[in-house]
Amino acid sequence: MIRICLVLGLACLPWRAQAFQAAPDPAQDLLDRAYKALGAKDYERAIQSFLEALALAPDRPNVRKDLAYTYLKVGEPVAARDQFGEAMRLDPNDVHVALEYAFLCYETKERARARRIFDQIRKTGPPEARATAEQAFRNIDRALEEGISRWSEAAARTPDNFSAHHELATLAEERDELALAEKHYREAWRVRPDLRSLLLDIGRVWKAQGRVEEANAALLAASRGAEPRVAEAARELLPKRYPYLNEFRKALELDPKNTELRREMAYFLLQLGRKDEAEQEFRKITANGASDLLSVAQVGFLKLGENDVEGALPYLERVLSGTDQKLAEKVRAALNLPPELPPQAPASASGGGPVEPSDVRAMAFKSYEAGYLQDALRYLQQAHSNDPLDFEVMLKLGWAYNMAKEDDLAVRWFALARRSPQAEVAREASRAYKNLRPTQRPYQFAMWLYPMYSSRWESGFGYGQFKTEFKFKGIPVYPYVSLRLVGDTKGVAGGPLPQYLSESSIIVGGGIRTDYWHGLMLWAEAGSAISYLDRRRQDTGAALPDYRGGVAWSKGFGHLLGGESAGGFFETNADGVFISRFDNDFLMYWQNRAGYTAPVIEALGGLQIQLLMHMNLTADFRRFYWANFGEIGPGCQFRWKGWPGPLRFTVSYLHGVYTRKEGNPRGPTFNDLRIGMWYAFTR
């Protein structure tokens, strides 16, 4: 549809030019590039071009719709949903887009929003869309109604059942029964006052009810002292300003045990010149032997400011005997004591009052570089609030959340930062996003292929594997289903003792692997090998059990192929593989490559060449002659700069020596010219 519109628009240009001079479309070149990439099924490049075009012309619903469909092609339903949502906002009359948005909301677990949209379309949409919307609405609403009824009975039977109240409140909110949702979120908070995510839920419901002042108080409490995910979600719902004093007080009425919230209000009172009230709040924090040394120190400093040295000493001595050496150093300086330890950590961001916006960014970066993640996250969030278009802050937020093991949040910030107009920031964010995104999915698809030709056997060989891995939270291994291919073009080697050159099989199976640890990985697999050659079927049967497993380790040093600079390099791979079909044999491979990576030859389109020397050793436990030999010889690898990272070609000439002579009809040595291609990807 968009292409038809573009053609019609171009056809009308000569007539329109008679009336006025048409302004050039700033996004046209980028859109042409996007649709060209889309036609070539280069979806990543199409997405990037669409995003760049929308940065110049953001109010185009058709472009957002095409971008949404492209996101669906690469398996990004959340990104597609958001683009359909923007397209619906820009063109509320496009019912087809609204339906797409509603279905994606449902698929991405936003049932409340999906239900509202279906409800609106079934009531006000065109006749051809009402039936679809009616059915979808009833499916969602019926499930919510049944769940509410079931959990209402459970909550009535056991009033202190946290799960019953929480599930009931969640379902009621999704069904827009806000009064019922508020009631049971409050009941859940009564049972679990330590779970501050409930304050986020309560604040969200109050905000939907129009109770803005109460909502701000609940969200303020949730934004302080909660886990980072909850705090960030609460900040997004709060007004883009610093809270008022009465909002602090109302928040503390809801959450009186929130130390971080009370401390921040105390510092706010100090800034307002209300020292007595601030001291009262600090004293509430330090009561009952509380371990918040920052508040303990502040009470002591306030008493010192009033010349009450005797009253200050008990507080300051608690700080001196505590674990915060930086704070202890400040106390020693205030008491004119000689220093004992050098400063070790900056003052906590949670310990100060509102920071001047001009200082926030610098403090955020200093905390990040020093490794103080909690301080860095707090300051970075504040810096982002001050300047939502600071892409470097977004990048740092991504890395900070990554180091804090909050990778789902890290992916989100990297996705935002990769849109930066600064090439270096965008490049770093894109690399991080592509590396981290597959780890957040419950599954991932992986493939590797290695076709090659060998002059020694005068045959081509093909090796490959296609597999889908599954990730389960809390389990440190990855189960997978696999399809392997092992074959050759010749089938049988000639000579007095003919032998098969490969397994000539398709191997279907399932397995499990560990994560990589310093380049080391363990794996095991069971399946069935199906021969695709009639002769093999006659000799061994069409399908045989296949059990294999082993250990793999790899390491690279120096200037590897695909890197940014030229120089020497060394790569080593070691594999141990058990294969049941080879008489339960265990084979060991050790392959080493050393050489020089040449500078990129831009005149040849970005050609990258690596000159190298191979040093390989193969052995096995069964001591078969064909599995025990060493190889050495020169070779080269090459690729072009624009190619996908792992894709490369290899040409090598190897001289080999068998280390086992018994049963070897082929002589003690061999020479082999090998030409191969390697490609792998994970999505």
User: In the predicted model, is pLDDT for residue 2 greater than 90?
Assistant: no
Residue 316 makes CB contacts below 8 A (sequence gap 6+) with 297, 300, 304, 331, 334, 335
222: exposed, middle or buried (Cβ count in 10 Å: 0-12, 13-18, 19+): buried
Comparing CA positions, the residue from 60, 106, 113 lying closest to residue 83 is 60
Model confidence over 539-577: pLDDT tens digits? 445 678 889 999 998 888 888 776 667 889 899 999 999
Mean per-residue pLDDT, 307-324: 69
CB atoms within 10 A of CB 328: 23
List the domains of the chain with CATH numbers: 191-350 (1.25.40.10), 355-439 (1.25.40.10), 443-485+552-682 (2.40.160)
Model confidence over 125-178: pLDDT tens digits? 888 888 899 999 999 999 999 999 999 999 999 999 999 999 999 999 989 999
Which pTM value belongs to this model?
Answer: 0.47
Q: Identify the pLDDT of residue 549.
A: 93
Round the average pLDDT of the chain to a whole number and report it. 81
* pLDDT band, residue 498 (cuts 50/70/90): very low
Comparing CA positions, the residue from 276, 186, 199, 188 lying closest to residue 238 is 199
Q: Identify the pLDDT of residue 334.
A: 62
User: In the predicted model, is pLDDT for residue 340 greater than 70?
Assistant: no
Comparing CA positions, the residue from 437, 488, 468 lying closest to residue 47 is 437
| Block residue for tokens 């949670």 | 350
Alpha-carbon dihedral 258, 264, 270, 274, rounded to 10 degrees: -40
Which neighbouring-strand residues pair with 110? none
Q: Identify the pLDDT of residue 1.
A: 39
Comparing CA positions, the residue from 664, 666, 607, 672 lying closest to residue 637 is 607
More confident residue, 313 or 188: 188
Residue 240 makes CB contacts below 8 A (sequence gap 6+) with 385
User: In the predicted model, is pLDDT for residue 13 greater than 90?
Assistant: no
* pLDDT band, residue 391 (cuts 50/70/90): confident
Kindly state the DSSP code that residue 244 receives in the 8-state scheme: P
- Mode of pairing for the β-strands spanning 443-454 and 477-488: unpaired
Q: Identify the pLDDT of residue 492.
A: 54
* pLDDT band, residue 680 (cuts 50/70/90): confident
Model confidence over 617-658: pLDDT tens digits? 999 998 888 889 999 999 999 888 767 657 889 999 999 999
Comparing CA positions, the residue from 510, 451, 462 lying closest to residue 483 is 510
User: In the predicted model, is pLDDT for residue 589 greater than 50?
Assistant: yes
* pLDDT band, residue 524 (cuts 50/70/90): very high
* pLDDT band, residue 309 (cuts 50/70/90): low
Model confidence over 249-301: pLDDT tens digits? 998 898 888 888 888 888 888 778 888 888 788 778 777 555 677 777 767 77
The token duo for 318 is 């608690």
CB atoms within 10 A of CB 364: 26
The token duo for 40 is 């070539």
Within 425-566, strands assigned E span 443-454, 459-470, 477-488, 492-493, 499-500, 505-514, 520-531, 543-558
Calculate what percentage of the chain has a pLDDT beyond 70.
81
Comparing CA positions, the residue from 104, 57, 59, 103 lying closest to residue 80 is 104
Q: Identify the pLDDT of residue 632.
A: 96
Hey, what amino acid is at 134?
A: E
Half-sphere exposure of 115 (CA within 13 A, CB side): 19
Kindly state the DSSP code that residue 517 receives in the 8-state scheme: B
Lowest mean pLDDT among 21-25, 98-102, 534-538, 558-562: 534-538
Comparing CA positions, the residue from 287, 680, 675 lying closest to residue 465 is 680
User: In the predicted model, is pLDDT for residue 345 greater than 70?
Assistant: no
Give the H/E segment covering residue 119: helix 111-124
Mean per-residue pLDDT, 432-458: 80
Question: CA-to-CA distance for 35 and 147, rounded, in angstroms?
Answer: 45
Comparing CA positions, the residue from 261, 166, 260, 254 lying closest to residue 218 is 254
Hey, what amino acid is at 666?
A: R
Angstrom distances, CA of residue 509 to CA of 452, 540, 580: 24, 19, 14
User: In the predicted model, is pLDDT for residue 8 greater than 50?
Assistant: no
User: In the predicted model, is pLDDT for residue 324 greater than 80?
Assistant: no
User: In the predicted model, is pLDDT for residue 378 greater than 90?
Assistant: no
More confident residue, 312 or 393: 393
User: In the predicted model, is pLDDT for residue 341 greater than 70?
Assistant: no
* pLDDT band, residue 356 (cuts 50/70/90): low
* pLDDT band, residue 422 (cuts 50/70/90): confident
Angstrom distances, CA of residue 306 to CA of 280, 309, 351: 14, 8, 21
